[in-house]
Amino acid sequence: DGGITQSPKYLFRKEGQNVTLSCEQNLNHDAMYWYRQDPGQGLRLIYYSQIVNDFQKGDIAEGYSVSREKKESFPLTVTSAQKNPTAFYLCASGGGRNYEQYFGPGTRLTVT
């Protein structure tokens, strides 16, 4: 059963703590992406990776970090430097010839 999984679905953290969001795909896609979604807004790109051991900053990378040690996995760390971390985080994979992206179910992070 191919797809993209994100865990956990809900995550609560205290201000000042780093937190890592998981994203795994078994679609054999080369590219993976992290987006942030805030209410009433579109998606904003945080980081993307076109290949293992390589990744690029998106539009809002400050306060976030990623790694891509395996093709299947692209974890996102929200650091204490991120000023407003409470949001819905979406992971996607793709890289096909039609450039389409497929999304996971998302993780809602609440920082208090």
Binding positions for another protein, rule: CB under 8 A: 4, 6, 31, 33, 40-43, 45, 48, 50, 56, 90, 92, 94-95, 98-106, 108
Q: Which CB sits closer to another protein, 63 or 102?
A: 102
Only one residue has tokens 């980081």, namely: 47
Taking the complex as a whole, the smallest distance from the CB of residue 109 to another protein amounts, in Å, to 13
d(CA 59, CA 73): 21
d(CA 91, CA 5): 9
Q: Which CB sits closer to another protein, 13 or 108?
A: 108
Q: Which CB sits closer to another protein, 41 or 112?
A: 41
Q: What are the φ/ψ torsions at residue 12 (nearest 5 degrees)?
A: -120, 135
SS3 36: strand
